[in-house]
Amino acid sequence: MGLDVTDTTEASPEPSQAEPRPVSGGRLFGMSLYWLAAQLHWGALLVAVMPRQVAEIHPERHGLILGRLIAVGAIVALVLPPIVGALSDRCTHRWGRRRPYMVGGTAINLVGLAVLFGAGYLRNLPLYLLGYVIVQFGSNVATAAYSGAIPDLVPHPQRGVASGWMAAMTQTGTILGALGSGILVERGDVGLAYLAVAVVLTLLLIPTAAAMRERPLERTDRPQVSKLSLGSFLRGFWIDPRKHPDFAWVWLTRFLFTAGMWMVQPFLQYYLRDVIGSSRPAEDAGRLVGLALVGATGTGLLGGIISDRVGRKRVVYVANGLMALVSLGFMAARTMPAVYVTAVLYGLAFGAYYSVDWALGCDVLPNKDDAGKDMGVWHISMVLPQSLAPQVSGMLLEAGGAFAVAGSAIPHYASRGYLYLFAVAAVLLALSAILVRNVRGVR
């Protein structure tokens, strides 16, 4: 069975053989804008819109249902990026290698958002799941190809700065999505939240595509093009940890970090409702994420610059260790001001890690000629925990117990379940800090 894909072992295209030319600050800014759109999209859906809609669609055991819904969608995000990355590595479209997938993926994402909104309005859980899967498919087609832009177009000495811009845009997008949609959800304007997400995705794709300035990959750039069997194509996604131990350790530490984050992130709205006693949990969850990421935006830029000078690993040690400690602080907090202070500390550490994480991943890629495919494999370390951690969290909340609240049709979870969540998250984050010392080829 043949696929029209060039063999990963053949000669590389000419643009990937030479180090990319230096990129201006304005162009780095423009190249990073789509990260803002993508994260505004997910900040809105995961922090405010989906937790509220799932609780309304299925009040009983809504925490467990939300965890399972996210897990099913994450399967798409797990499988798709390496495949899209590999295909975009070999794309000969006149727009370049990455941009055609970004445009097509965004269009699919917009369709999924429309289905998701309609299903929430109808309170139809199977249709809601379908909409979420479509959203995941479109988003991952776009961002999997987009992930290859930094290795493709940015020279090694600038990757820390480029990664810092990516982190800053990511955090700013999440702030705007979580805070804005939280306010809209509490006011009953869920449809407007969906519309805002769709508009931002469409508008910010345009300057990003313009700033990327990709040169079309000519078929003649690969003089030995051959058909590749499905088996060979799939085997290309296996990166042997014995041959590439640094890549394997970075993959593992990012997996642990992401698992720690996703033990808690989808359930912030429920935590504020059940433990802190917020009367407007969607709006307060948006403020909480916003405060955390305001700090993260500054340290995101600073962390990338510092890591270019003193090394990536030192930043990771400090950032992840601090996040592990602060995770436990959320359970000590009992008022919204205390939660906000804790969130700021958490965000400062998160921003430093996230900027360095992307640069670290670029530094240990096994083969720069297959950057899209290899970044897709690395991307699995971020997506797989998103499938596993929320399911575990949902079960832990159920194990902690639930209780009825007068005047509410939605049961609330006991604080013991949230203690389980934050404790497991702290352990995972601490392990991610400790194990990064095994990365030998990067400072």
CATH code, domain with 241: 1.20.1250.20
Residue scoring higher pLDDT (20 or 117): 117
The answer to the question of residue 322 being in a domain is yes
pTM to 2 decimal places: 0.75
Nearest Cα to 261, choosing from 426, 64, 437?
A: 426
Percentage above 90 pLDDT, the chain: 34
**Main-chain phi, psi angles of 339, to 5 degrees:** -65, -40
Q: How many helices (H) and strands (E) does the chain have?
A: 17, 4
3-class DSSP state of 414:
coil
Residue 388 lies in a domain: yes
Average pLDDT over every residue of 279-308: 80
Domain coverage including residue 51: 19-213+230-438
Q: Which pLDDT score, from 0 to 100, does residue 220 have? A: 44
Asked if 108 contacts 141 with a C-beta cutoff of 8 angstroms, the reply is yes
The CA distance from 251 to 174, in Å, is 23
Domain count, the chain: 1
- Specify the higher pLDDT residue, 413 or 81: 413
**Rama region for 277: left / alpha / beta (φ>0; ψ in -120 to 50; rest):** left
Within-domain flag for 151: yes
Assess whether pLDDT exceeds 70 at residue 233.
Answer: no
> Please, are residues 174 and 296 in contact by the beta-carbon 8 Å criterion?
no
Phi, psi dihedral angles at 315 (to 5 degrees): -65, -40
Q: State the pLDDT confidence band at 49, using cuts at 50, 70 and 90.
A: very high
Task: Determine the pLDDT at residue 250.
Answer: 82
pLDDT category of residue 11 using cuts at 50, 70 and 90: very low
| Average pLDDT value for the chain | 81
Q: Is residue 303 part of a domain?
A: yes
The predicted pLDDT at position 348 comes to 87
Residue 104: what pLDDT?
Answer: 94
Residue 432 lies in a domain: yes
Higher pLDDT, 234 or 430: 430
Q: Is residue 244 assigned to a domain?
A: yes
Using the predicted structure, report yes or no on whether residue 221 has a pLDDT greater than 80: no
Q: Between 281 and 60, where is the model more confident?
A: 281
Q: How many residues does the chain have?
A: 443
414 is a domain residue:
yes
Domain membership of residue 223 (yes or no) is: no
The segment with the largest mean pLDDT, out of 220-224, 259-263, 299-303, is 259-263
Residue 426 predicted with pLDDT over 70: yes
Residue with the larger pLDDT of the pair 162 and 337: 337
55: buried, middle or exposed (CB in 10 Å: 19+, 13-18, 0-12)? buried
Q: Which of 299-308, 406-415, 421-430 has the lowest mean pLDDT?
A: 299-308
pLDDT at 223: 38
Provide the pLDDT confidence category of residue 120 given band limits of 50, 70 and 90: very high
**Residue 17 pLDDT exceeds 50:** no
- Helix, strand and coil content of the chain, in percent to the nearest 5, comes to 80, 0, 20
pLDDT confidence band for 154 (50 / 70 / 90): confident
